[in-house]
Amino acid sequence: MEPTAGRNTQGTLPSGLDRAIRGTAEDIAALLRGVADTSGPVPGSDWTLGEAAAHLAQANELMADVAAGHERSHGDGTPGSLAEANELALAAFAERAADPLARMITDQAEAFLTAVAELPADRTLTTPLGSMSPAEFGSYLLTHMLGHGYDIARAVGRPHMIDRSRVELSLPFLVTAMPRVVNPTATAGLSARYTIRLHGGTAFGATFTNGAVTVSTEPPQRPDCTILTEPVAFFLMALGRRGPWGAMARGGVLAWGRKPWLAPRFPTLFTAP
């Protein structure tokens, strides 16, 4: 159950985003509490459970600091530099015990919400992935926690916390971030118009013109490929946690249009940060 206590962020964050941030932080903390040994591996990652939790605690603290107006540098916004900055930060932070990290994850998520409640909705914040509004930055925090929360859930063998409503709240960040994490090798020479539709929810567009991409909150006219995807499957593909062929095999993705064969290529056009 998601707690409702805390500062009122109405007017700064979209409806429900503050509850999703608190709830996701608490869900992750619940996975960690009482884990005696955090040295085991995270599936699909080079990190241990303790390193993944430490990274998440550090990231929540960084985002809370940025929301509070403190300057924090963390790479140059490219996926490679962010990965390098993450490793350097982990090397300088010794905590790997589950319970202290669980507390830090929830405390810093709440610190973020306290700080963002003081901001005007039109404030521009400098984040590790470029300039964002408070609403986009809150969506960034949620997306980041959900991605690593999924990893932590897999590491401890328990259900993850990603659901349709939380995926919908992650979309402002994902739409903002997509042009910033394009894989130039994968998109070289590509000209195509995609419509992405989530089952029962949002649709958006991605138009590639000779490799350059424009992502919009409205689908393009006459798309070459329309992709209809189950929200959780979309989210896991967007964050590099699941491949397109596996999602299609499970029935989580359907595609049609003049060039439906472009659908499996879409997730490969971006490098998950």
Domain extents in the chain: 17-163, 182-269
Higher per-residue pLDDT: 4 or 62: 62
Q: Name the architecture of domain 182-269.
A: 2-Layer Sandwich (3.30)
- Asked, colleague to colleague, whether 17-163 and 182-269 share their fold, the answer is no
- Is residue 1 predicted with pLDDT exceeding 60? no
- Separation of alpha carbons 228 and 230, rounded Å: 7
The mean pLDDT value for 219-238 works out to 94
Neighbours of 4 (CB within 10 A): 9
Asked whether 48 and 97 are in contact (CB, 8 A), the reply is no
At the fourth CATH level, the homologous superfamily of domain 17-163 is dinb family like domain (1.20.120.450)
pTM confidence score: 0.92
Q: What is the pLDDT of residues 20-71, one digit of tens each?
A: 999 999 999 999 999 999 999 999 999 999 999 999 999 999 999 999 999 8
